[in-house]
Structure 1
Amino acid sequence: MLLTPQADKADTKAAAPTRLSTFRLLGPAFVAAVAYIDPGNYATNIQAGARYGYLLLWVVLWSSLIGVLIQLLSAKLGIATQASLATLIRDRLPRWASIGYWLQAEILAIATDLAEFVGAALGFHLLFGISLLEGAVITGIVSSMILAIERRGLKPLELVIAAMLGAVALIYLAELYLSHPDLGRLVGGTVMPGFAGQGSILLAAGILGATVMPHVIYLHSALMSPEARRASSARTLYRATMWDVGLAMTLATFVNLAMLAMAAATLGGSDHDIGSIEQAYRTLAPVLGHRAVAVFGLSLIIAGISSTVVGTLAGQEVMQDFTHLKIPIWVRRAITMLPSFAVIAAHADVTTVLVVSQVVLSFGIALAIVPLLLLTSNRPLMGDLVNHGWTSIVGWGCVILIVALNIIVLSSTFGVTL
């Protein structure tokens, strides 16, 4: 398996859980959480804030809470079974169904990497004035260098990714302070659900797709499998994982809320028609100052590069565990870059590509969550870590909510008669 690190030389004898051991087990959730702040989030959050002000902040919060539950379930599955979600689906479904699941997961992985790779290239373009194609080349080189760290084991890569997530969070702490959001409207938009026409519903689906990413549902279980094999007890590892997911998702949730709130405070209700990240970047300059806008561009680069690294890992994991095909990760990196270069060469509107890709991803969430819920509710498979009744109820409620939102989007976007 790609994500099996080198042999851990540390003593793995049973030991009482300590703060130090808990800290050592942190990391996998930070890798998964990077997918929650990728360039697709920039596109959907900025458009939501510019067009609808603080209205859709509640969608960000709800999507993040769904993400917390899903990442916990995915991690728990890897801990209890020492196998990935993709492996378990492959082993328990008929061959034709397993192939179908693999193909849809590959499509989602391509859509994911497209958004992340193009977003990072856009960041280089905005910050340094180079062409998108040149930005794409730099993105490919830098992301490949970071992926090379995985040869030394998974933990060094986890630390690098966690540092990048922390850097984006610090940037948005500063951006939120500089934008002076209306605190009353910020709180109201976060706690009061509401829509304002079909456009807001489509953006809500995009926010959901950008926040709850199907590929990291598969990935998180794979990240936990090596940890489970080394852990002194599954229960101890799961307790540490709860801290891991809580800390990582809190950071990711803050970034998304701050991103939308900044757009609402600086671009919402203005005379500018903000339809793209490029327009937002140029419009923010006289509002926040050139230094603040440069930092915004830097955050887009960091988010894009870190998330495309995670996307490549997830794509590799999906391919290996569904098909038993083992290809070098640099080959996978090259394959997933090709659609991005094609989009850039075709001069497609970057923000439109990002938003549409996130809506596509929203349709794949339920396909990943349903088997995850079924597997984690299987007592013979999960043992003591089987889902409690309320966990299953909330999980299936999330599935119903996601499918209902998808149906509404189909109806409003493509004129489907329900």
Structure 2
Amino acid sequence: MPKDSAAVTSLQVASGPARATVKPTRLLWLLGPALVAGVAYLDPGNVASNMTAGARYGYLLVWVVLAGNLMAWLIQYLSAKLGIVTGKSLPEVLGIRLRRPLARRLYWLQAELVAMATDLAEVIGGAVALNLLFNVPLLAGGVITGVISMIVLSVQTRRGPRTFERVIVALLLIIAVGFTAGVFVSPPDPAGVLGGIVPRFAGTDSVLLAASILGATIMPHAIYAHSALARDRFPQSLGRAGIPRLLWATRWDVSIAMLIAGAVNLAILLLAASALQGIDGTDTLHGAYLALQATLGPVVATIFAVGLLASGLASTSVGAYAGAEIMHGLLRLRVPLLARRVVTLIPALLILGSGFDPTEALVLSQVVLSFGIPFALIPLVWVTAQRSLLGHFTNRWLTTAAGTLAAVLLVALNLLLLVLTFSGS
């Protein structure tokens, strides 16, 4: 019997409270899907948004990172629960419930545009990292990033979800070290951090960056991907008897993943606020790298660039997985992952070849993602509240209320962004 199945079976036959019966060694075999989905919260778009926010406004937007991470925990848990209980991903559920072909295609179109914006950020981030580390031209760096991501995706196709998880988690560890090392060399100001917890803005640009941070933190494709990852990891043939304990293990999985993602995102902003604020050019990845090199030394700067490269490689692989699931669930078309990877690489290569500022493209891509959040989040909260779909595992009213509140806040922030932008204030 496969180890994953043995772990689940042991949970099904265990008696008594889950906390007393689940052995740590067994629990470890049930962790993984959230860590893979959590890579989406540490993509190069996060780096650009958080670095720019810290360099421009210091600790002002610390509260945005914290609030986004809290909302992300609930959102990712609901996504995983949907995949475990129903055996279907969110795109598959919506593909069934949106019965009119036009509605399915329009929904797919917006989801596809969001997925493309995600991929754009991730490939650009990998290209910039290769340029910083090895002076590789940006266009060539984009091609290399795309090729390596194809190799990573082939692992998922040929070796299955567990091996794919191991590769992504290894890259996740590199990302965590790369983006947090600088904070230990240049510690943040405790008073500034505490002051940044108070919600406030400082003009239109700070609202734009807040929307960008949220778009990078709560990523629509992570919502779509997590339900599919959980579905693939815990097949329905294992039976429904073990679902409560699988959900318990999933809460641990999501908590660990979001703790890592939140700590790293916060570290990026704090590093920029403590070491890069007031330095010209630090609102670009290249400028931030040079500033880190000048202020904290070449070792910290190099570690940062290695983390950026790992971020681009891991997140673009997960993004391609999510994009393929979106197309399969909504259009009922199964496109090979590698073929899709080639097609979705084109927009990023066009941007890199055009000479457009890569950091600006990263930040703008995160804003696009923030507008795609409601289209993923609202349906997720809605379907997980349907007793006809989830039965005994449907959301409690408090969970639905919290998810609804998160959706309302995110939509309100985007509307505020539009008003401030077009009013010129």
Task: Give the TM-score normalised by the residue count of structure 1.
Answer: 0.95
CA displacement 1:188-239 (0-9 Å, x = unmatched): 31x2111111110110000000110001111111111131423651111100
CA contact (8 A) 2:8 2:246 kept: no
Indicate conservation of the 8 Å contact 1:59/1:208, yes or no. yes
Give the distance between the partners of 1:314 and 1:406, measured in 2 at CA.
Answer: 24
Q: Tell me the SS of whatever aligns to 2:201.
A: coil
Question: What is the 5 A alignment of 1:368-379?
Answer: 368-379=376-387
1:183 to 190, 209, 214: 190
Measured in 2, the distance between the counterparts of 1:7 and 1:329 equals 26
Which residue of structure 1 aligns with residue 95 of structure 2? 90
Correspondence for 1:384: 392
Deviates more, 1:337-346 or 1:94-103: 94-103
Conserved in 2, the CA contact under 8 Å of 1:61 and 1:253?
Answer: yes
Q: Which amino acid aligns with 1:86?
A: P
Residue 84 of structure 2 is matched in structure 1 by 79
Matched ranges for 1:357-368 at <5 A:
357-368=365-376
- The offset of 1:416, in angstroms, is 8.9
Deviations 1:339-367, CA, capped at 9 Å, x for gaps: 01110111111011001110011001011
Is residue 316 of structure 1 aligned with residue 333 of structure 2? no
| Deviation at residue 273 of structure 1 after TM alignment | 4.1
TM-superposition CA deviations, 1:228-252 (whole Å, max 9, x none): 4236511111001000000011000
1:271-310 equivalences under 5 Å are 271-310=279-318
Does 94-103 or 362-371 show the bigger shift?
Answer: 94-103
Q: 2:201 pairs with 190, 195, 201, which one?
A: 195
Mapping 1:11-410, distance limit 5 Å: 13=9, 14-16=12-14, 17-93=22-98, 94-150=100-156, 151-189=158-196, 191-226=197-232, 227-229=234-236, 230=238, 233-268=242-277, 270-410=278-418
Letter in 1 for 2:154: A
Deviation at residue 380 of structure 1 after TM alignment: 2.1
Once residues 282 and 214 of structure 1 are traced to their aligned partners in structure 2, the CA distance between those partners, rounded to angstroms, is: 32
Local SS of the residue matching 1:246: helix
What is the rounded CA distance, in whole Å, between the counterparts of 1:273 and 1:24 in structure 2?
45
Secondary structure of the equivalent of 1:196? Answer: coil
Q: What amino acid does structure 2 have at the position aligned with 1:177?
A: F
Compute the displacement of 1:149 (Å).
Answer: 0.8
Q: 1:9 to 1:205 in 2, by over 3 A?
A: closer
Q: What is the aligned-residue identity percentage?
A: 45
Q: Distance in 1 between matches of 2:163 and 2:408?
A: 38
In 2: Cα distance, 1:7 partner to 1:83 partner: 23
Secondary structure at 2:222 match in 1: helix
Q: How many residues align?
A: 410
Query: Which amino acid is 2:164 matched to?
Result: L
- The letter of the residue matching 2:244 is R
Gaps of 5+ in 2: 15-21
**Inter-partner Cα distance in structure 1 for 2:279 and 2:145:** 34
